[in-house]
Structure 1
């Protein structure tokens, strides 16, 4: 019972509670200090995670996994949340729900790290609830009609898939005589195949919901469009990467008893194609990014099909940086909400337009950006797993995704339809976008750290 190994999570939890208490007792004019405090807390958690990095092992009677994979997700989740807090600083400033927004993001980040480190289905359930329940509040906290609709839709789907997760956990616990992964790995091969299949599909569907992949993707584009910009950036990155790591761990456990590769491969193929094709015709840039993240979930699932944790981490880290860079650009110019509304941005804001160009091309997988390295890794993993047809589908989806990316970029580079006074970019969001762009371009140097 090595409680000290949970220090990164304890730091995030303590920070979230401090933000909640600060929001309750600090006067409104001083609540702007909570955002920087939260960023500092998340940075501290990341530093502690680096200091505690070590070989793969388990603690708490085999229910919590430690090692390079957990360390990587600890870093991606907390640094991703910190980036979201920075790009949303102007949007949050003066809001009557400023402290609640920050606290909900931190609690969901905590749930994401729990979900990714879980080595027991009951811990998976805990992480799922802690990661997803704050999302409902984040989506609807703006209290607009669209936000309320998106929050209800997300809640209903989350509750449905949560029930499937609980049911699947109960079935697998009965079939495998335990809930920890060591017991399941030894018990499931001798269990009835039908029971294993029913339980495994229930758990997998819940994790696909958290990842925003087909068939549990319906909430993503609505939430990305209706929620605040910071909430949209958060929900498309932090819970997604953690859920995919949890799904990979689960697939590795049930693989001897049930081959889930074909099921995950079909979900990956449909996610890629649907996400790309649906993004073609979107005018609202955040809805476009919502559909894009459904497609990105499909690409990330290639690593799950190949059960290659390193490939998943390389892609997830690169995707997180690129997606947050694009959202930071959107947050820096909040008045440009449609693709057509970006006309003239190249002349008025050349650096931000450059960041947008790099971010969108990175999401496509253009070299030498971060996602290109990730795509090479996940393509290799899927091919090595004997899923060559899936690699072909992924290659076609990659080429097709150029269409909506270039459509947005071309609009930004065209002159404005009429002379208008240039808007002022939000400085913190703009600076965040430029820093993330540098990370996207320099990601190749960081890949060996994920080995």
Structure 2
């Protein structure tokens, strides 16, 4: 059990403890430094991840996989968590629990890291629970706001049921096989973390009611970890033994269709993004459904989840920058009032659709290609139809933002949120010309378990 193999996870753990202790000692006016410490700790963890980039082995008695898939998931989780942490100081400036928020954020990210590299059922359960429990706190952090409490309660109830089913499945596997190695799994637990049907109901409520940094985190980070973990599970189950890939394909079809149809007439931007996040989970499941059947399935999954995470962080950074104004009429005239924010929001939404030459197009193209190669042409055609449908509700946001006049002055959160917007825009711009190199560096296979 070489401790160094878990250096990124240990860095996040120690940083979370340091942030918690600092929040206890520092006065409220200095709690913003907790976010700085959190980002520094995440950078250290990213450095350890890069140092282990060429690792390809099972570690800790075969319970944790050190491979390229784990490496990419680690980097995405750490980067997105850092972006969310950067949004928190201004958003929680008047909250006496601001410092503790950063600690809870890091604990939830630690659970996602554990889930992404899990190669054993008990390790997976630990990761899911460690990611979920702090997530309930993040969702309901505005405890004086009824909508936030409702979001946290719904997230908790759906999570409690999904996690109970997951643990029940683990117990059954242990009883039948006498081992916790991957052999079969109840899908609901991981579908809950993805925000996919049938455990999707929490996603739009959390996107609407949680603090904006929490909403950004909970609609991105657990999805990254769950996508990789679910891919590991599906790739190990022989199709002739159990039609797990077919179940995932059906879940993908239901998730993307329900998410897009529910988003059509939403009047709140955050809730619209919540339902959009559900639909994006459906697209991600397309790659999982062809695990083992298409050579580029894993590459397509990591590429799509990466570009989705970047666009989603950008969209929520714009919402945070506008101080949480989320009614569609509130963003009318945004181009005239806040041109950079309007351009950023437009590019994020168009990337969700997959409009070229945005990175979202490259991610979706990879998904469709892998799905066709895997023999699921009906699922690819359904995804194309859903993509066309999604353009309608994104244009309901883009049109008024670009063509209408602002009703009143639009205040902003300050430099921190604007910086996150600029960094995310730069990352989107850079990702397109270097896509070929990124694609070649993505994992194509998993370690045998």
CA deviation string 1:3-51 (max 9, x = no partner): 1010000000000011111111222222111011101111111111011
Query: Which of 293, 311, 318 does residue 322 from structure 1 map onto?
Result: 311
Alpha carbons of 1:424 and 1:205: their partners in 2 closer, same or farther (altered >3 Å)?
closer
Q: Which residue of 2 aligns with 1:431?
A: 419
Q: Which residue of 2 aligns with 1:267?
A: 251
After TM superposition, give the deviation of residue 385 of structure 1 in Å: 1.8
After TM superposition, give the deviation of residue 254 of structure 1 in Å: 2.0
Query: Which of 282, 290, 294 does residue 266 from structure 2 map onto?
Result: 282
After TM superposition, give the deviation of residue 124 of structure 1 in Å: 0.4
After TM superposition, give the deviation of residue 167 of structure 1 in Å: 0.8
Alpha carbons of 1:351 and 1:38: their partners in 2 closer, same or farther (altered >3 Å)?
same
1:250 aligns with 2:239: no
Query: Which of 395, 399, 417 does residue 410 from structure 1 map onto?
Result: 399
Q: Which residue of 2 aligns with 1:193?
A: none
Q: Which residue of 1 aligns with 2:60?
A: 60
CA deviation string 1:292-316 (max 9, x = no partner): 0000000000110111221111111
The CA RMSD measured in Å over matched residues stands at: 1.4
Bigger mean CA deviation after superposition, 247-256 or 356-365 = 247-256
- In the alignment, the residues of structure 2 paired with residue 425 and residue 88 of structure 1 have an alpha-carbon distance, to the nearest angstrom, of 10
1:301 aligns with 2:285: yes
Alpha carbons of 1:316 and 1:414: their partners in 2 closer, same or farther (altered >3 Å)?
same
Query: Which of 222, 226, 229 does residue 205 from structure 2 map onto?
Result: 222
Q: Which residue of 2 aligns with 1:342?
A: 331
- In the alignment, the residues of structure 2 paired with residue 133 and residue 102 of structure 1 have an alpha-carbon distance, to the nearest angstrom, of 15
- In the alignment, the residues of structure 1 paired with residue 367 and residue 166 of structure 2 have an alpha-carbon distance, to the nearest angstrom, of 27
- In the alignment, the residues of structure 2 paired with residue 42 and residue 335 of structure 1 have an alpha-carbon distance, to the nearest angstrom, of 26
After TM superposition, give the deviation of residue 335 of structure 1 in Å: 5.1
CA deviation string 1:395-431 (max 9, x = no partner): 001111111111101110123264x334345221122
Q: Which residue of 2 aligns with 1:173?
A: 174
Structure 1 contact 331–426 (Cα < 8 Å) conserved: no
Q: Map 1:92-131; keep pairs closer than 5 Å.
A: 92-131=92-131
Structure 1 contact 121–169 (Cα < 8 Å) conserved: yes
After TM superposition, give the deviation of residue 178 of structure 1 in Å: 1.1
TM-score by length of 2: 0.93
Count of aligned positions: 432
Gaps of at least 5 residues in structure 2 are: 292-296, 444-449
1:386 aligns with 2:369: no
Structure 2 contact 336–406 (Cα < 8 Å) conserved: no
Alpha carbons of 1:175 and 1:381: their partners in 2 closer, same or farther (altered >3 Å)?
farther
Bigger mean CA deviation after superposition, 119-128 or 27-36 = 27-36
Gaps of at least 5 residues in structure 1 are: 185-195
Q: Which residue of 1 aligns with 2:446?
A: none
CA deviation string 1:69-125 (max 9, x = no partner): 000011000110001111233102231111221111111111001001000000000
- In the alignment, the residues of structure 2 paired with residue 288 and residue 115 of structure 1 have an alpha-carbon distance, to the nearest angstrom, of 28
1:136 aligns with 2:173: no
- In the alignment, the residues of structure 2 paired with residue 21 and residue 255 of structure 1 have an alpha-carbon distance, to the nearest angstrom, of 48
Q: Which residue of 2 aligns with 1:187?
A: none
TM-score by length of 1: 0.93
Secondary structure at the aligned position of 1:65 is classed as strand
1:40 aligns with 2:29: no
- In the alignment, the residues of structure 2 paired with residue 376 and residue 345 of structure 1 have an alpha-carbon distance, to the nearest angstrom, of 30
1:26 aligns with 2:9: no
- In the alignment, the residues of structure 2 paired with residue 449 and residue 360 of structure 1 have an alpha-carbon distance, to the nearest angstrom, of 27
CA deviation string 1:227-266 (max 9, x = no partner): 1000000000001110111111011122353221111011
- In the alignment, the residues of structure 2 paired with residue 400 and residue 430 of structure 1 have an alpha-carbon distance, to the nearest angstrom, of 31
1:158 aligns with 2:159: yes
Q: Which residue of 2 aligns with 1:365?
A: 354
- In the alignment, the residues of structure 2 paired with residue 348 and residue 95 of structure 1 have an alpha-carbon distance, to the nearest angstrom, of 28
Secondary structure at the aligned position of 1:118 is classed as coil
Secondary structure at the aligned position of 1:114 is classed as helix
Structure 2 contact 162–192 (Cα < 8 Å) conserved: yes
